[in-house]
């Protein structure tokens, strides 16, 4: 559900919604979400002073019953 | 954020009137929030209203406490969700959104509390004829207090820097 929720929140605020890809990764330290967006949308999802990225993390943490989830923002070209 | 505006055609024929803009803004906000509620399997009804010249979007709980997570401590999650909803509405309309979001009546309840706080401060300022300084508040909260003070015929201003900015009430 978290991937889907984050994908929805990000697709709604970018210029290239079709390029948005969200994947959950599980590693030793727990779960994290990788969000890939079009390079032109990177500034949009980070926001001034990281404001939008913080808002996304706050809402996703709330939907995860207040357990913090790591979210990494990457552009589609990054692997 | 300014590049969103550049891509939108703002010639006279396509420019929306104030009312059309608020409607489009409210609809975009409702779509965005409904999608989120669906995915998170949360029940809530969305009301759209206009207050002053601002769109007011409220997510109303179907059962008490269901949307508590979306409010968070001191409305922190609500503020984040409002920020994202404004960005979504801005993308749809091409005009910077200033919509107010409420979830589960959190802002409405806080507004009532603030009006009481403002009235008490007004009474104190009148009794002592000295300025009354309130606790630091968010921009939304200060606006509610300023409005209540003005209605009582007194003067108020904000002082200090965020997040410690607070309202000061004076009799003259």
Q: What is the mean pLDDT of each run of 10 residues along chain A (79 residues)?
A: 96 96 86 93 93 96 90 80
Name residue B75's beta-bridge partners: none
pTM for the predicted model, two decimal places: 0.81
**Domain residue limits at B84:** 18-104
Say if residue B116 is in the same domain as residue B100.
Answer: no
Count of domains observed in chain B: 2
Among A4, A51, A58, whose Cβ lies nearest the Cβ of B77? A58
**C-alpha dihedral, B101 to B107 to B112 to B116, nearest 10°:** -110
What is the tens place of the pLDDT at every residue in B83-120? 999 999 999 999 999 999 999 999 989 999 999 999 99
Whether A15 has its CB under 8 Å from any CB of chain B: the answer is yes
Whether B105 has its CB under 8 Å from any CB of chain A: the answer is no
Q: Last residue of a domain, which of B69, B85, B104?
A: B104
Say if residue B40 is in the same domain as residue B99.
Answer: yes
Say if residue B114 is in the same domain as residue B37.
Answer: no
Say if residue B162 is in the same domain as residue B97.
Answer: no
Q: Report whether the peptide linkage leading into residue B147 is cis, meaning its omega lies within 30 degrees of zero.
A: no
B contact test, residue of A22, A62, A63, A69 with most B CBs within 10 A: A62
Say if residue B88 is in the same domain as residue B41.
Answer: yes
- Stretches in chain B below the pLDDT threshold 50: 1-7, 10-13
Q: Tokens in use for B77? A: 């999650």
Say if residue B81 is in the same domain as residue B29.
Answer: yes
Containing B110, the helix (H) or strand (E) segment is helix B106-128
Say if residue B55 is in the same domain as residue B119.
Answer: no
């Amino acid at each position: 559900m978290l991937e889907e929720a984050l994908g929805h929140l990000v697709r709604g605020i970018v210029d290239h919604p079709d390029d948005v890809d969200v994947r959950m990764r599980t590693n030793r330290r727990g779960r994290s979400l990788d969000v890939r967006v079009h390079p032109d949308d990177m500034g949009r999802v980070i926001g001034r002073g990281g404001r939008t990225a913080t808002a996304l993390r706050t809402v996703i943490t709330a939907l995860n019953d207040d357990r913090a989830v790591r979210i990494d923002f990457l552009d589609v070209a990054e692997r | 954020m300014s590049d969103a505006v550049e891509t939108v055609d703002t010639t006279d024929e396509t420019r929306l009137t104030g009312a059309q803009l608020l409607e489009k803004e409210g609809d975009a906000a409702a779509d965005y929030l409904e999608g989120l509620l669906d995915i998170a399997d949360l029940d809530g009804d969305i009301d759209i209203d206009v207050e002053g010249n601002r769109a007011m979007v409220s997510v109303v709980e179907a059962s008490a406490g269901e949307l508590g997570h979306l409010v968070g401590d001191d409305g922190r999650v609500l503020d984040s969700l409002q920020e994202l909803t404004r960005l979504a509405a801005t993308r749809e309309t091409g005009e910077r959104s200033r919509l107010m979001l409420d979830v589960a009546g959190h802002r409405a309840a806080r507004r009532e509390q603030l009006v009481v706080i403002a009235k008490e401060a007004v009474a104190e300022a009148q009794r002592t004829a000295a300025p009354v300084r309130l606790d630091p508040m968010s921009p939304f909260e200060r606006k509610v207090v300023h409005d209540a003070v003005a209605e009582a015929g007194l003067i108020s201003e904000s002082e200090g820097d965020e997040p410690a900015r607070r309202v000061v009430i004076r009799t003259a």
